């Protein structure tokens, strides 16, 4: 590399190239295998391109190789020194949208009711790791697949843009509440390079049912994570390795609210922006 490379680029790309070469030497990579890899990389971007850039296959590949979860761990794992841990992070995944609208507490993210959707009142408090105080004005961004396992932009026949997406602001008591669906397990797409790779590894393409959330506030470290029903059969073998113990939750039957049959109470703990804690 030339003298004008930044120190970080020199470190990162140098390490990447070294590991790539070590890998090839270690397994004595054949020309056919290398060529298969080249075709694979082209196919990944081709799916992205031909989907109108809505299907982020490179993101998905890095997820099934466990890379996003690892990077997430490196970036976010805080072991607190107070006995209370902040809410664990989990991967963003390829379906977050910057365009989700703000909605009022008590509202619903269900724009397009789905046949088997089980409506759930989700609510909780966002609080400060250090003081335990509630955090008013935090943005609680939620997105989820519909009862057919598809997100809005995968399913234009049944869903309008921003169906099952929304941003809520916590009130004076740090509370948020809204209606959503009990989540549904789904398979990653089975017609592209990521599924080919899973098949080569004899792995299934299932993600456990989950709700994505991203909770942010200017004074706190944001938390992007996912919540999983405790009875989901795919928790142990999540194809993208994103399940953590404190993210497994209990949906409970709800009485006395004609709008929903289930309830989920989930509290989020954020660490202050400058909190160091112990990094993993």
Q: Which residues bind a copy of itself (CB under 8 A)?
A: 1-6, 9-13, 15-17, 19-31, 33-34, 37-50, 53, 56-59, 61-62, 65-68, 70-72, 74-75, 197, 200-203
Q: Which is nearer to a copy of itself, 23 or 102 (CB)?
A: 23
Residue nearer to a copy of itself on the CB measure, 38 or 79: 38
Q: How far apart are CA 138 and CA 168, in angstroms?
A: 8
Contact 107, 155 (CB under 8 A): no
Least CB distance to a copy of itself at residue 139 (A): 19
Distance CA 111, CA 109 (A): 6
CB closer to a copy of itself, 57 vs 152:
57
Q: How far is the CB of 119 from a copy of itself (least distance, A)?
A: 33
Are 122 and 189 in contact by the 8 Å Cβ rule? The answer is no
CB distance 219 to 273 below 8 Å: yes
For residue 209, the minimal CB distance to a copy of itself (Å) is 22
Q: For residue 25, what are the CA distances in angstroms to 35, 39, 189?
A: 16, 20, 33
Q: Which is nearer to a copy of itself, 46 or 118 (CB)?
A: 46
Nearest distance in Å: CB 56, a copy of itself: 7
Residue written as token pair 């809505």 = 54
Q: How far is the CB of 137 from a copy of itself (least distance, A)?
A: 24
CB nearer to a copy of itself: give 159 or 194: 194
Please answer whether residues 124 and 267 qualify as being in contact, where contact means their C-beta atoms are separated by less than 8 angstroms. Answer: yes
* Residue (13 or 79) nearer to a copy of itself, CB: 13
Rounded to a whole number of angstroms, the minimum distance from the CB of residue 166 to a copy of itself is 24
């Amino acid at each position: 590399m030339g003298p004008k490379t930044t120190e970080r680029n020199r470190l990162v790309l140098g390490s990447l190239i070294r590991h790539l070469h070590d890998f090839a030497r270690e397994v004595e990579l054949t020309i056919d295998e290398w060529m298969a890899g080249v075709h694979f990389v082209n196919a990944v971007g081709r799916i992205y391109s031909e989907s109108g850039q809505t299907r982020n296959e490179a993101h998905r590949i890095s997820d099934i190789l466990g890379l996003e979860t690892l990077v997430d761990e490196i970036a976010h794992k805080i072991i607190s020194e107070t006995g209370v841990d902040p809410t664990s992070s989990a991967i963003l995944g390829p379906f977050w949208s910057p365009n989700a609208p703000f909605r009022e507490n008590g509202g619903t993210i269900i724009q397009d009711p789905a046949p088997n959707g089980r409506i759930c009142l989700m609510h909780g408090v966002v609080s400060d790791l250090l003081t335990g105080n509630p955090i008013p004005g935090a943005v609680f961004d939620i997105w989820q697949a519909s009862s057919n396992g598809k997100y809005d932009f995968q399913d234009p026949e049944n869903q309008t843009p921003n169906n099952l997406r929304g941003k809520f602001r916590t009130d004076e008591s740090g509370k948020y509440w809204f209606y959503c669906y009990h989540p549904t397990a789904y398979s990653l797409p089975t017609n592209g390079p990521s599924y080919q790779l899973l098949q080569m590894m004899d792995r299934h393409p299932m993600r456990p049912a989950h709700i994505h959330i991203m909770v942010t506030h200017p004074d706190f470290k944001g938390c992007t994570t996912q919540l999983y029903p405790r009875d989901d059969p795919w928790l142990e073998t999540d194809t993208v390795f994103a399940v953590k113990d404190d993210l497994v939750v209990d949906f409970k039957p709800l009485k006395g609210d004609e709008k929903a049959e289930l309830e989920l109470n989930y509290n989020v703990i954020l660490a202050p922006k400058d909190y160091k804690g112990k990094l993993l």
